[in-house]
Structure formats: C-alpha cells, structure tokens
Structure 1
Amino acid sequence: MSRARLRTRATRTLLAGVAFALAAVAAPATAADPTASLLHPMFDDHAVLQRDQPVRVYGVAPAGQTVRVEFAGKRARARASDDGRWEAQLPAFEAGGPHTLVVTAGDRSQRVSDVLVGDVWLCSGQSNMELQVWRALDARAEMAGAGNDRIRMFTVPQVSDVVPKAAFSETVEWQPVKPETVREFSAACYFFARELQKQVDVPMGLIDASWGGSRIQAWTSGEALRTLGDYDAELDVLGRYADDAVAAVGEWGTLWQDWWSARGGIDADDRPWAADEASGAWRAAPEQLGAWERWGESELAEFNGMVWYRTTVELDAAQAAQGATLVLGPADEIDMTWVNGRGVGSTYGAGAGREYALPAGLLRAGGNTIVVNVLDTYRDGGLAGPASAHLLRLADGSEVPLDGGWRYRVVPPELGTPPRAPWQSAAGLSTLYNGMIAPIGRYGLRGALWYQGESNTFEHDRYAQLLRALRSDWRNRFGADLPLLVVQLANYGAAPTAPTDSDWAALREAQRAVAAEDRNTGLAVTIDIGDRYDIHPTNKQELGRRLARVARHVVYGESLPPSGPVPASTSRNGDAVLVRFDDVSDGLLAYGAAGPIGFELCGADAGSCRYAQAELAGDRVTLRASGAGDATRVRYCWADSPVCTLFDGAGLPAGPFELPVTP
C-alpha cells in the first residue's frame, strides 16, 4: 500500500529545499529570466481547458509589465504584480479545438499549440488511484488498443513540501492517449474518462495527483486543517520546521513522548527513548535485523504495529565534539528516532534510508544511546540490516558504525497508533497539498475524483470531518461547487464468519454519510470488485464505469440512479425490521440464494450484533433474527471484506451501511 517515494536528506539539504520553496512562493525566479516561460506549466501543448466557464490563464512576467492573452479569437490582458505573477480571464468557450494560445509581454511571446476545450478532471488519492494501466486487468490489450487524441493526460510529479509551492519543481507535460503514454497513467482515471466520453462526447483532460500510502491530511491545506482544531500543535511544529528543522524535530519528539506517556497502561517511568532507560523488557535483536516477521519469533510472525529498537555507541572526546549526522538504513514504514533522549528525526517510507543531522552538543564522550521506534501497518516491518548499515557520520568525514548490537521490545497493539510527524511526505499534514495541489494553481476543473482511505482506517472516527474539510478546501481553490466523486473502499482481507467490528467498514460509513449530505458529492460503491488477497484490485475498468455513472448523475444531471440501491429508511414490523431502499433499477435481486446475506441486527451494546435472515419484497428487505424486537441498529456488509449479495437489476450492489432502527 505504501511506496517509498520520500527523498531523505541531511538538514542542510532540507533547509535548502525549504528555502527554494519559499523563494518560489515569494518571488518566482522566472519573473526575472528573459528566457523563461510566461505561462504556468499547466498551459502547454496538448492541454485541455475547461469549457462553459470563464478561463483563468496565469503565469509570471517582469513586474509591472502588461501581459496580453489571445485564444480562439478572444483576448484578455493583465498586469504582472510586484512578484511577477499575473492572471488574465478569458470568456467561457464551448467544447472544441484544437486552438492556439498566445501570450505576449513586452518583446517576449509564448505560443501553445493543440489546445482543446472540454472537461477537466483532477484524479487524486493513494495507491488505488495511482495504480497504473500496466498493472490493471487485461493490461496488455488495454495498452495496445489505447489511442484517443481527445483524452489528454497530465501527471503531477510526486513531491511533498512543508510550504505551498507556486510551481512544479520537475518538468511536466500534457500527453494525448497513446499506447506508449497511457502505460504509466492512473488506470482508474483513464478508464473513467474513456467510459464517460461514450455519453459526454467532449475532450477530456485528466490530471493525476496521487501518492501510494497517503493519508487524507497530507492532501488538505494547513488553513483547512486548522479549522478542525485537532492539529494545531502539529501545524505549529510544521511552521517552525520550515525555518529550523533541527529545532522543530526536537519539539516533535517531546509531543511524541507526551502521546506515549498519556497511553493507558503505560507506567509513568516507562520512557523507552531515554538514555538511562533500564527496563528489563528489552531482548537481543538478530544481528542482521531486517523484517521482524522473519526473525522466527511467533509474536512477530504476522505483527503490524510498533517495535522499539535500542543500541549504544562509544565516542571519544574529539569525536563527540564534532558535528554529526545519524545514518540509518530503511525502516518499514515510519520511524521516530532519538539520540541521548532527544528526538532527532522521523521519516515515512519503506525504501529510503534516513539521515538526521544532530544538534550541536548532543553527543558526549563515552556511551551514546540511539533509540528508534518503528511503526509498520502493512506486510513486512522493521529496521533494515545489517547493523553495519547504521552509523554516525562525523564532520571530519569519519564514520562510526552502530554495530554494538541492537535490542528490541514489542509494543502492545492496544496502545494504538502514534501521531505522524507533520513534515512526513504521504503521512504528514498538508505536505502533498503543498507539493502537488498548490502547484496546479487555480486551473479550471469540471470535477475531482477521490480514491483514498486505506491509510486512515485506524482513525475512521475522524474521517468524515476530514473528508468534509478536504472537499471545502478544494472548492476554495478550484470553485465553490466543485463536484467530488468519492470511491468507497473496496473489500479486502479474510471473509467474516461472525459479526465483528471493522475499521474498514466504519470508514466506508463515513464516506457514505459525507457523500449523502451534499448534492455535488457522489459515491462509487466497490464492495463487490475488490480482492480479498490484494489491497490493489486490478479491475479498474469496472471502477471507471461506476465512476462515470456517478458523474453522469451528479455532474451532468442525468436521472439514472448513480451507484446502486441506497438505504432510505428503517422501521419495525412486529418482530421484524424493514429496510427500504431508494435508487433501485429494475428491482432488488439476491445473488446465489433466495434472500440476501450480510445483514445484521444489533442492540445498543458492543458485541450485540447477529446475522439476520433477509427476505426481498419490492424495494424492501425484511430482517428477522432472535431478539429482533430489541434491535436498535441495522448493519449491512459490515466487515473488512464482507460477502455481499444484494444487487439491483442494473447489476449494481447495495453498499455497506449502518443505520438506527426507527421506533
């Protein structure tokens, strides 16, 4: 699920990158460069501009200079501000093209060719949105048959940052769909546009901004997260990180320690990061380290959670007096690291090593303690080996290996999941908004597709307000009525044999509730097209068809039911409970049996749910079970990977839900 795309840097490199980003925001270098582009990189050959709404065109030019824009026989002008930025507005255009966009400022001119006008879609989320066409079902045939000059693709470079970026730091381009260009593009995004174009016959522009393993907080601006009131301390640290990364990391270490100490069941003296920690719970780790699932310890054979690592290194007085960088091998997937009891770094990403600059005066002559907490949420976890891969690099160029032996202790899963450092790439706060959404500018969009949530299942209780915040945030940037098409999480994992609580089901319910409350938000149900053995289901063609259907209803106003049967009401009927459904095409159907399975009746208490017998009659399902008269809730398909058999005549599934029983 997660990808190791984080570029680990020493503090000097980090600060240089931050300074570059700040400079890009405050005063774009292109404004003073006579050879630079006048247009923002979104406006390039083969671009698609949004139809039927005024077109914002923007870029940079010498301060104070008048910029003239011409497109499809229409003209506009703007004046570059003191920092070189300019924005002009052209009138709305009908779908069509190709056209040429010409921009002139002084004696400079830029010409962009083969520009179409149509519908532009932002496709964003984590790995199931990122999953490329070459990894999708029947990929070879799909790529060989791809050829559509009226679908254009734009991939946003995977960049995270602690401050909003004004432009992309890598080369970008629009590409028409061809076998050689579609291969690496988002399969869900491409198949959506291909299907939608069958009914909406206009050019389609697709902007893919996705990152595997990313949390929703990373895609939301700091201003929007501030409105929730839950992230102020982390955002304060993130703000300081831009100016002094080393000091901010130390502050974050203290916040992390406060989280640990506040856990129930933790002794007040239990401080695993402390240099003088003397707990007897530590055990010797294998010399080669590596994935703890392969250590031969039954406790760790299938363990997803936190493990502490600890070692010491001896330095003489001359070594301790030097500046130093702690070098660690890769950690799968998130580390929080201390030296002599002080936080020095935290990084997200399984494939990259870590390099943490140490503050002056932290090291000492004699023994120095290095402690690493590693959090793993998926498959293999742990600190990579061998021990010789971990070292202190001193200012004089010498290296001191951390090969004195590592010890470890396993954290009980009931302690929960620690907070993520706010500067982490896909797991931080606003980092992907800053690096991947902000650089797009205020480009005209028809709507946005959102496929994300797997990385937030552990905090499903927050997800509804986070999704609302992201929706509001993106509407502030791209337009007040921006449609948002949400993909509900697909089934994944072992099928249930008894009613159970499920983080995945609870997050699906949050997605359903947020989509249902807003007329410009739609939900694509995928509970039947996942893969219980693979978190990345490959049938993205059916996903594309379902997203296109949702778009036809939400965006284009077609009267067809958008996503299959949805629960409309519950009521009692003697000792039975009735559930009525809306948006049913050609009646309700049960696959494989006389009645649907997957329904539960629940009381008020945890653990009170029991499977119910279900009968179909028109648009209603009648539920019966022992004690049904006392039921206060109805659940359907409530598991990580439920077996769901209720569909309608259009072949669309009823999605998972939990509803109170109406008295």
Structure 2
Amino acid sequence: MLKKSLIRIKILIVFSIVISCENQKQNLKLPSIFSDNMVLQQKTNVSFWGFSNSKETITINPSWGKSKCVISNNEGEWELKIKTPEAGGPYKIEVKSENQTVTYNDVLIGEVWIASGQSNMGMRLSDGIENQDEEIKNANYDDIRFFSVLEDLTGNSIKNQNWLKTTPENAEKYSAAAYFFARKLHNELDVPIGIISSSWGGTKVESWISNKKLKKFKDLINENLPKNTEQKLIDIERVRYNDSIANLNKSKLGISTFNLPEPYFLWNENMVWNIDLWEKYRYNWTELDLNDFEFKNSHYDDSLWDFVPKSFNKSNSLKLNNIFQAKENTISSGIIWFRTKVLVDNLNTDYSFYVEKGIDHIDQTFFNGELIGNTFSVDGKRNYTIPKNLLKIGENSIAIRITNLGGDGGFNSPVIIKNNSSSDTISFENFKFKHHAFITNGSSVLVHNYPFNELVQDYDIIEKKLYRGYVINSPYGNSISFEKMLRPVIPYTIKGAIWYQGESNVENYNEYQELFSGMIEDWREIWGYNFPFYYTQIAPAIYGENHLSHNLRDSQRKTLEFTSNTGMAILMDIGEKDNVHAKNKQDVGKRLALLALKNDYNFDIVPSGPLYKGHVNYNNYIVIDFDYKGSGLCLKGDSKDFEIAGIDEVFYNASAKIIGDKLIVSSKCVINPKHVRYGWKNWVVGSLFNKEGLPASSFNSLN
C-alpha cells in the first residue's frame, strides 16, 4: 500500500512539473506595430523584436532577401535587424519560432517618420481643418500608411491596432499635420510613406521625456522624480511612494485616498476608435464607492449642501471653475455631486435626461436612487432614458456625480428632462452641490469634508496642507506620455521625427529650450542614432492672461542653435487670434516636409522662412541680417511689428524697409538704437517673408 502511494506521489510530482513547464511556454508574439500593410524604412537595417519561449531560435524570412536568425534570452525576449532594399513592394515577411509562424502581408519599403506632440499634432482631418470635406474625399493613397497610437493609458487599444492604408474612411482619423507632411513627401519622392502617429492633447514636453533623462533636469522640474531608471522599478517606486503619501494624508489630515478605476483618462468616445474602451471598464465606475453612495438616494438629507449661485440661472453652462471662483483648475479637478428635484405628473411614458453638449468628464447619473447613465466623455452628449417604472407622481430626485480629472469640468449645456410631449429645462440655480474629493496623482482622489465657503476662501491654505504624490496614469505626469505612448513603438526603425507641441509649456518658457533639447537627445539615445528632428514653432494666438507665448516661440527658435540635425517650421502667418488650434494644417505639414526634402532628400529648395542672424547698429537705425532669405526678403501688409530700443532697453515701434538683402529698421523715438525685436507679442500676423512665401520667425535680439 505504501509502495502504491509513493508511486502516486511520484506521478503527481512529474505531472506537476510537466504542467508547470507547459505553463511557462509562451506563443511567438510581436508588438502590434508589426502588422499587415506596415511600411519599413528603406536601405537600412530595421529592428524586429518580440517574445517567445526561452532560448528559442527565431527566424525572419523576408521575401526580398536572405533570412536571419536569433536566439531568445532567458525571459524569451529577442531582437534582430533585417536589411531592407530600396523603396518598393508589396512584400511578405515570415517570422518563425520552432513551432509557430507569423506572416505579414502587403509590406512596403519606403520612408518612415514618427509624428508626435500635443493637440495640434493630434488634430485629425475630421476635426474642423480647412477644406476638410474635400481633403478627406481625396485621401486615396495606397502607399501612404499610418500606425496610430491612440490616447489610451491602459495599453488595450494598441494591442488591437495595425497599419492602415489611406482611404477616406481611414484618413479622417489621421493626424492632419502628419498626413499633409506624408502627402507632400509621397508626391515629391514617389515612394511609400509610413507615419507612426503618437500625440496627446495638452501634454507638456516633460511628459515626453524618459525618467532617466528627466532626472538630469531635476533643478528645472522642481518636483520629486523616481530614483530608479528601469521601468519596472520606477512603477514600483511610484506606487510605494504614493501609498506613503496616502498614509500621511490620513494620519495628518484625516483625508482618505481612493484609487479611481481605469481607463484613467479618455477625451471622448471618438479618440480611441479601435475598441470600446469605456465599455470595458464602465462597470467598475458604477460600483465605485467613495464614501458617497448615500448621496444618490431620494431621501438623502442634503440640507447642508449649497445651492448653485443664482448668477447661473440663465447660463448656458455650469463650469466648475466658475462655481468655485477658481483661476486655476486645481480646486475644480475632483468629484462634485449635484442634486435636484423635478416634478412629474405623467407616469405613462419614459422620460429622458438630456445634456446636448455633454458633461465634462465622467458622470454617474441617478434618478430616484437608480443609475440611469454612466459616461466618460469630455464633450459627448448625455441622453439617458428614465424608465417609467422609476417615476412617481410629484417630486423625483436627480443626483449626478461628476468626476473631473483635469481642466475645467462641469455641465457644457443645460440639463433637460423631456418626454414625447413635453420638455423642461432645469435651472442651474435649482441644483445643490457638494465638492466631495480632490484629484491627486492623476488617478486617485482625496475625499474631504470641507464646506463650500472654506474651499472658496481658504483653498490656497488647504492646498498647501495636502500631500501630493507622483502623477501616474495621467498623460500630464512627468515621463508618462513617453512610457505609455512612445515606448511601445521603440525601437521601430524610423527615418526621423516631426513634432508639434509647446502650447502647454508657455508658462515655463524659460526652461523649455533646455528641456526640449533634452527630449530630442533622449529619443535619439534610446533609438540609438541621430535621426533628423523637425518641429513647428507654435502659432500666434491669445494664450491666456499673463501668458507670453512669444517667449516660448523664441525658446523654440534657439533650440536650432543648441541641437543639431533639427529644423523649425514657422507658422507666424497662419495663427488664429482666439483659437490655438489653427485650422490650416496643410501649410504645417508642407513646411515640415520642406525641411525633410532639403536636408534628407537633397532637394534644391529653400526649406524655411527667414531666421534672425544678427544686426549692426548705426546712429539712427539698425540693419538686420537673416538666414534663409531665399531669393530675397519681402514685406506683406503693415510692417508694424518691429520695435527697437536703446541702451535703456525700452522698446518703441519702428518702421521697416528692405534694402538689398537686408532689413533696415528705425524709429524717431530712439537715437543710437541697440536692440531690435519682431513679432514680440502673443497675437501677431507675420509681415516678413522670403520671396518663396515662407514667414520669418519672431525674435528678440536681447535673447
């Protein structure tokens, strides 16, 4: 009997070992950026990488040439390079492990560029650009292909992403600036063009720099940064640090910290278009209890809550910054509950809860204590059915929990209750409200019990008391966009990069040049080669009170001096005074392409508008010289945006005229001028060009 038991034990041990070994096996897998229809960089060694079983031979067999092999490491990771021919295709590529084969069809060889930045690079062909309908209609290019990294911090959408050919249906989702860049290159070079698009609106340059590199600029950041440089250790360090911060807030202030569910941040239902990201996580939000579930109930006693001020009675929106009289968004970023009552006299039909322009960002809406709506969308309309079985004659309660993750949230338009025969708009002054929690660390909340008056009067004091941790799971945290939006496509082989960003760094323009140059250096170090990097100078506009966007433009101009193999597309003539998202993206893409055509493809063209080179002072005037004068300088319209100053550095308006290939500026108010500047304000329409039609950059000789 004992012998049989021992045999059974041995069999079980062997079986367990076999099962354990089987569980350790993993299928051959490559990142989603390798897919059918992909474009590979021509005439170079392109990187392939992925996962397989440990110490397994991986073979890549391209239909254009010889196969190549590599053995995976102990963790099953592998990487190898394949030499590509000149532009052409379509080709087929087979990637084989010892037991599996992954095949990629319709692969083209051409020029591959990455396009990144904030909202002006992310702005799509369907987002209201100039001549939008015609541009989308004509977007038929089999040889222009896009791989778009969508605005998703969970990592789910990129797993389902692939390369797309340019058709009207696909192109309306493309970055407009990147598309016009690609179209110009394709038309001039007659080769396939691949664009890897990865942008996120509102992000600062700090978010696109790796933690390893950002640590070198710690004095500029003025924030805590993780000590580790390996990603797994960075993630662990952030979580542990934030846990310790949560304990401090609890022990010192009596404030509890709750983590919010995924997807963390989602602009609207159109931004992540390859999966229904909100549907995947929406249930977790309905179950989210922040010590506030009782607020939804019909009979909850809200007598201590405040009514919305009567000044909002006739308002078309109810924004949180206005309620809390906040100049900054910090107090408005959080969880705010609203409650009101409506009278019902008809129980025979369903009603609707309707907000035409949506609620910013997330809402759970309850009618008589029952959930009727649960949406994550900055501007998507809310149209929730109120089933007739929830109705009662007389007073009915509505409770809305709004989670605003950043910026100025709230109701973008009035709340309407309607049925088939009637429609009633609820006056905002009939809502009661309670600020329940502050957003912290990007994806957590601090639940408090401060009354409205104290929040408004003493928020600065309250804020100084709060302990804040690392911003994680938000595109606006240091290094987060780099980690979530860029790292998944590294080291896919690229020709170069184009970049449109800077609007969100206007406030810290003094640090921008050093940070921006550091970011470019960071990307090149991680990719392993000194690829060309072309970027746009932000366009003139009114960026806000006390925002000096011309200083940011100058930081971008000076980056050309400090960072090699770069170029700047100047946009001084296409800005819109009250809109930082100028609709003219055609010229943005074209001007970025001119830089590439000149510097990387040897076209004999003028790639840029005039750039300040230097000046010479005379008794009554200044002579200015420029680079990129092309076939000559040209003044358009009223040249009122030149100013000069003497040794006292007080600037006066100056007149300008062109003599030969130089610009002469003078003012009756300044004798013995020393300094000159051009376009030195937020809003300006460029008046200085070269004869090729490219505008000059603003500048200040004091800088």
- The aligned residue for residue 644 of structure 1 is 686
Task: Give the letter aligned to residue 246 of structure 1.
Answer: D
Task: After superposing the two structures, state which structure 1 stretch, 521-530 or 287-296, moved more.
Answer: 287-296
1:641 & 1:439 partners in 2: Cα distance?
38
Structure 1 residues 307, 412: CA separation in 2 closer, same or farther (over 3 Å shift)?
Answer: same
1:625 & 1:410 partners in 2: Cα distance?
49
1:222 & 1:160 partners in 2: Cα distance?
17
Shift of 1:631: 4.0
1:56-67 paired onto structure 2 within 5 Å: 56-67=47-58
Q: Indicate whether 1:201 and 2:182 are aligned.
A: no
Q: Indicate whether 1:538 and 2:583 are aligned.
A: yes
1:147-162 paired onto structure 2 within 5 Å: 147-160=140-153
Other structure's SS at 1:228 match = helix
Other structure's SS at 1:486 match = strand
Percent identity of equivalent pairs: 27
Other structure's SS at 1:574 match = coil
Structure 1 residues 443, 626: CA separation in 2 closer, same or farther (over 3 Å shift)?
Answer: same
Asked if 2 retains the 8 angstrom alpha-carbon contact of 1:450 and 1:485, the reply is yes
Task: Give the letter aligned to residue 558 of structure 1.
Answer: F
Q: Indicate whether 1:234 and 2:279 are aligned.
A: no
1:12-27 paired onto structure 2 within 5 Å: none
Asked if 2 retains the 8 angstrom alpha-carbon contact of 1:222 and 1:429, the reply is yes
Q: Which digits, 9 at most, give the CA deviation of each residue in 1:495-552, with x for residues without a partner?
A: 9xxxx98621001001111124444101000111121122111111111111111111
Please point out which of 388, 401, 409 is paired with 2:456: 409
Shift of 1:561: 2.3
Q: Indicate whether 1:586 and 2:631 are aligned.
A: yes
2:578 & 2:483 partners in 1: Cα distance?
34
Task: After superposing the two structures, state which structure 1 stretch, 475-484 or 167-176, moved more.
Answer: 167-176
Please point out which of 538, 548, 555 is paired with 2:600: 555
Task: Give the letter aligned to residue 127 of structure 1.
Answer: S
- The aligned residue for residue 598 of structure 1 is 641
1:206 & 1:244 partners in 2: Cα distance?
38
Shift of 1:494: 8.9
Other structure's SS at 1:114 match = strand
Structure 1 residues 388, 477: CA separation in 2 closer, same or farther (over 3 Å shift)?
Answer: same
Asked if 1 retains the 8 angstrom alpha-carbon contact of 2:88 and 2:108, the reply is yes
- The aligned residue for residue 108 of structure 2 is 116
- The aligned residue for residue 99 of structure 1 is 91
- The aligned residue for residue 515 of structure 1 is 560
- The aligned residue for residue 38 of structure 1 is 29
- The aligned residue for residue 656 of structure 2 is 614
Structure 1 residues 185, 405: CA separation in 2 closer, same or farther (over 3 Å shift)?
Answer: same
1:446 & 1:127 partners in 2: Cα distance?
23
Asked if 2 retains the 8 angstrom alpha-carbon contact of 1:420 and 1:428, the reply is no
Other structure's SS at 2:226 match = helix
- The aligned residue for residue 176 of structure 2 is 187
Task: Give the letter aligned to residue 68 of structure 1.
Answer: T
Between Structure 1 and Structure 2, how many residues are aligned? 536
TM-score, normalised via structure 2 length: 0.67
Task: Give the letter aligned to residue 102 of structure 1.
Answer: E
2:692 & 2:599 partners in 1: Cα distance?
18
1:202 & 1:30 partners in 2: Cα distance?
45
Other structure's SS at 1:505 match = helix
- The aligned residue for residue 620 of structure 2 is 575
Other structure's SS at 1:133 match = coil
Shift of 1:604: 6.3
TM-score, normalised via structure 1 length: 0.71
Task: Give the letter aligned to residue 43 of structure 2.
Answer: D
Asked if 2 retains the 8 angstrom alpha-carbon contact of 1:31 and 1:63, the reply is no
2:42 & 2:249 partners in 1: Cα distance?
46
1:200 & 1:633 partners in 2: Cα distance?
43
Rg larger in structure: 2
Q: Which digits, 9 at most, give the CA deviation of each residue in 1:572-622, with x for residues without a partner?
A: 1222111112211222111125xx33111135667x222111111122111
Structure 1 residues 298, 78: CA separation in 2 closer, same or farther (over 3 Å shift)?
Answer: closer
Other structure's SS at 1:88 match = strand
Other structure's SS at 2:126 match = helix
Structure 1 residues 296, 653: CA separation in 2 closer, same or farther (over 3 Å shift)?
Answer: closer
Q: Indicate whether 1:444 and 2:493 are aligned.
A: yes
Q: Which digits, 9 at most, give the CA deviation of each residue in 1:424-470, with x for residues without a partner?
A: 62221010111111111200001111100111100000100110111
Shift of 1:479: 3.6
Q: Which digits, 9 at most, give the CA deviation of each residue in 1:326-385, with x for residues without a partner?
A: xxxx99799xxxxxxxxxxxxx99679xxxxxxxxxxxxxxxxxxx9998589999xx99
Shift of 1:242: 3.0
2:377 & 2:673 partners in 1: Cα distance?
45
1:150 & 1:173 partners in 2: Cα distance?
15
Structure 1 residues 120, 312: CA separation in 2 closer, same or farther (over 3 Å shift)?
Answer: closer
Q: Indicate whether 1:432 and 2:481 are aligned.
A: yes
2:689 & 2:52 partners in 1: Cα distance?
57
Task: After superposing the two structures, state which structure 1 stretch, 242-251 or 510-519, moved more.
Answer: 242-251
Structure 1 residues 199, 30: CA separation in 2 closer, same or farther (over 3 Å shift)?
Answer: farther
Asked if 1 retains the 8 angstrom alpha-carbon contact of 2:619 and 2:673, the reply is no
- The aligned residue for residue 11 of structure 1 is none
2:510 & 2:647 partners in 1: Cα distance?
18
TM-align CA RMSD: 4.4
Structure 1 residues 233, 529: CA separation in 2 closer, same or farther (over 3 Å shift)?
Answer: closer
Asked if 2 retains the 8 angstrom alpha-carbon contact of 1:597 and 1:644, the reply is no
1:263-302 paired onto structure 2 within 5 Å: 286=308
Shift of 1:33: 3.2
2:321 & 2:238 partners in 1: Cα distance?
40
- The aligned residue for residue 8 of structure 2 is none
**Structure 1 unmatched runs, 5+:** 1-28, 255-282, 314-329, 335-347, 353-371, 393-399
Shift of 1:142: 1.1
1:326-341 paired onto structure 2 within 5 Å: none
Other structure's SS at 1:124 match = strand
Structure 1 residues 388, 39: CA separation in 2 closer, same or farther (over 3 Å shift)?
Answer: same
Asked if 1 retains the 8 angstrom alpha-carbon contact of 2:641 and 2:679, the reply is yes
Task: Give the letter aligned to residue 155 of structure 1.
Answer: S
Shift of 1:159: 3.1
- The aligned residue for residue 54 of structure 1 is 45
Shift of 1:473: 0.8
- The aligned residue for residue 15 of structure 1 is none
Structure 1 residues 578, 333: CA separation in 2 closer, same or farther (over 3 Å shift)?
Answer: farther
1:590 & 1:524 partners in 2: Cα distance?
19
Q: Indicate whether 1:467 and 2:516 are aligned.
A: yes
Larger RCO (alpha carbons 8 Å, 6+ apart)? 1
Task: Give the letter aligned to residue 37 of structure 2.
Answer: H
- The aligned residue for residue 246 of structure 1 is 243
- The aligned residue for residue 20 of structure 1 is none
1:642 & 1:304 partners in 2: Cα distance?
26
Task: Give the letter aligned to residue 115 of structure 2.
Answer: C
Structure 1 residues 331, 425: CA separation in 2 closer, same or farther (over 3 Å shift)?
Answer: farther
Structure 1 residues 249, 186: CA separation in 2 closer, same or farther (over 3 Å shift)?
Answer: farther
1:93 & 1:492 partners in 2: Cα distance?
45
Task: After superposing the two structures, state which structure 1 stretch, 232-241 or 513-522, moved more.
Answer: 232-241
Task: Give the letter aligned to residue 118 of structure 2.
Answer: Q
- The aligned residue for residue 268 of structure 1 is none
Q: Which digits, 9 at most, give the CA deviation of each residue in 1:215-260, with x for residues without a partner?
A: 1111110011011123475213975323464324567999xxxxxx
2:635 & 2:409 partners in 1: Cα distance?
34
- The aligned residue for residue 68 of structure 1 is 59
- The aligned residue for residue 533 of structure 2 is 484
Asked if 2 retains the 8 angstrom alpha-carbon contact of 1:285 and 1:406, the reply is no
Other structure's SS at 1:229 match = helix
Shift of 1:57: 1.1
- The aligned residue for residue 305 of structure 1 is 328
Structure 1 residues 111, 514: CA separation in 2 closer, same or farther (over 3 Å shift)?
Answer: same
Q: Which digits, 9 at most, give the CA deviation of each residue in 1:19-75, with x for residues without a partner?
A: xxxxxxxxxx998333xx532221110000111211111111101101011112221
